[in-house]
Structure 1
């Protein structure tokens, strides 16, 4: 499997791609071509062109969750490509309207009904194998008390708004050749340790070969230190913290964990 970072908050020195505070990864494995999130704008399309990645051959579009820094690029993708043959995988809540605490819209640019007209939409609350080696985790259950869900704004369902605990937040898991698993996250609103626990349970593999993605660790607090301690216990060989992670969190990780800087154009081959 090869992963190419099309969108991240960062770029690398002397590699002139575009960045934005968002996520989009292009994943290739055999005949499978998968786009994981679409960032906030058309930046993923522009970087894909610069990187000579042809999205016309895409077989899957997978969303980590419905926030607009992960789904906003949809409106540009649908203008650029005929999407009727693309399988779109996401939690059923992904396209429900979402708002921040000030009432500003922060959800996806399309409704579920609109998405169903454009793509082959396959809503998945339960785990779903996309290939013999790649698993969509579905809704994440809480396994660690220190990773209780925190509401981020509100979600609207059936005309009523309620606190949004981001039950649509999920991840991908790849079975590596060393009998481990490699985990790909968007924001880890569900908690990275909860995601890891579910991945281990569903695959039957305890070894974590690596992790790429957002961790939603923004403050130097007890949760950060609990997370670092937990990740240390896994004896990770590869850790790529991206997108929603603060400098303080990266610094805390760097003391004990083998982190690699993430930026647009990064390629990971497994």
Structure 2
């Protein structure tokens, strides 16, 4: 059984739950309780309280990448739950900036904690790089390999200081983005397949799917729950991604967060009932 509830998402139609530009999911699977991302504020905790989900029960927190809309709720979580293990990629702490129509954003999109908060969180954090097994059935991907021909839909830049004191911008290769893959088993312990959770898929959702299948060779992808970062993609790019997802023959796809309404509609049109439009407060069990 895999059960998950959206604590933070860009939209909601659940009275009593609020929405924000962020993502957070409460996951119960493979005998563990997991928090995947923490949204852009403490809103995830307020929604959890409204939904009667106890954050103190969470054993593991996986942070998908080092952007504020997935990490700003973590200080709040740490105040509520002092025991859960936290997993963040080792390269997730650079000061990074996004772009809009080719123009660099004025404000950073990276983790916004102050230094004291950061050091407190790092004391209980496992820094990932390659794949990391929480158990035989729960795996954090670590750095997602590039796939030839797949281009990111938005570029991000790391702000650094050169040796002569000049500010430099280096393209962020998004090595710090990682996904969560969970194997689901039947009552006899036989694998039914895997569920893949991705925060933004900045390297592309197709690399996410392919790497998940590489980590779990021979397993069927039963579900893909993912931000796909297609909100700014043109029609040709959206069509290409939708076509590739359909070819993967995934049992269920939930495009969330940064996927964008146009791409969500494209996926729904192509996949029908196999595409589910999820919102904050929604809960699913498989």
TM-score of the superposition, structure 2-length normalised?
A: 0.85
Q: 1:127-206 residue pairs with structure 2 within 5 A?
A: 127-148=131-152, 150-156=154-160, 161-177=169-185, 179-206=192-219
| Structure 1 residue 62 corresponds to structure 2 residue 76 | no
Go from structure 1 to structure 2 and tell me whether the alpha carbon gap of 1:87 and 1:233 turns closer, same or farther (over 3 Å shift).
same
Does structure 2 retain, via aligned residues, the 8 Å contact 1:115–1:121? Answer: no
Does structure 2 retain, via aligned residues, the 8 Å contact 1:147–1:193? Answer: no
Does structure 2 retain, via aligned residues, the 8 Å contact 1:179–1:207? Answer: yes
Aligned to 1:240: 254
Q: 1:111-130 residue pairs with structure 2 within 5 A?
A: 114-118=117-121, 119-130=123-134
RMSD: 2.3
Does structure 1 retain, via aligned residues, the 8 Å contact 2:228–2:258? Answer: yes
CA distance in structure 1 between the aligned counterparts of 2:58 and 2:118, rounded to whole angstroms: 17
Q: 1:67-82 residue pairs with structure 2 within 5 A?
A: 67-78=67-78, 80-82=79-81
Does structure 2 retain, via aligned residues, the 8 Å contact 1:212–1:239? Answer: yes
Aligned to 2:18: 18
Does structure 2 retain, via aligned residues, the 8 Å contact 1:179–1:205? Answer: no
CA distance in structure 2 between the aligned counterparts of 1:112 and 1:128, rounded to whole angstroms: 26
Go from structure 1 to structure 2 and tell me whether the alpha carbon gap of 1:112 and 1:194 turns closer, same or farther (over 3 Å shift).
farther
Shift of 1:149: 7.4
Go from structure 1 to structure 2 and tell me whether the alpha carbon gap of 1:42 and 1:114 turns closer, same or farther (over 3 Å shift).
closer
Structure 2 unaligned blocks of 5 or more: 99-103, 186-190
CA distance in structure 2 between the aligned counterparts of 1:249 and 1:149, rounded to whole angstroms: 13
Shift of 1:143: 2.2
**What secondary structure sits across from 2:270 in the alignment?**
coil
Bigger drift between 158-167 and 22-31 goes to 158-167
Aligned to 2:188: none
Aligned to 1:5: 6
Shift of 1:116: 4.8
Bigger drift between 233-242 and 42-51 goes to 233-242
Shift of 1:92: 0.8
Does structure 2 retain, via aligned residues, the 8 Å contact 1:8–1:22? Answer: yes
Shift of 1:129: 1.0
Bigger drift between 240-249 and 151-160 goes to 151-160
Bigger drift between 209-218 and 149-158 goes to 149-158
Aligned to 2:226: 213
**What secondary structure sits across from 1:176 in the alignment?**
strand
CA distance in structure 2 between the aligned counterparts of 1:33 and 1:16, rounded to whole angstroms: 24
Aligned to 1:104: 107
Does structure 2 retain, via aligned residues, the 8 Å contact 1:95–1:111? Answer: no
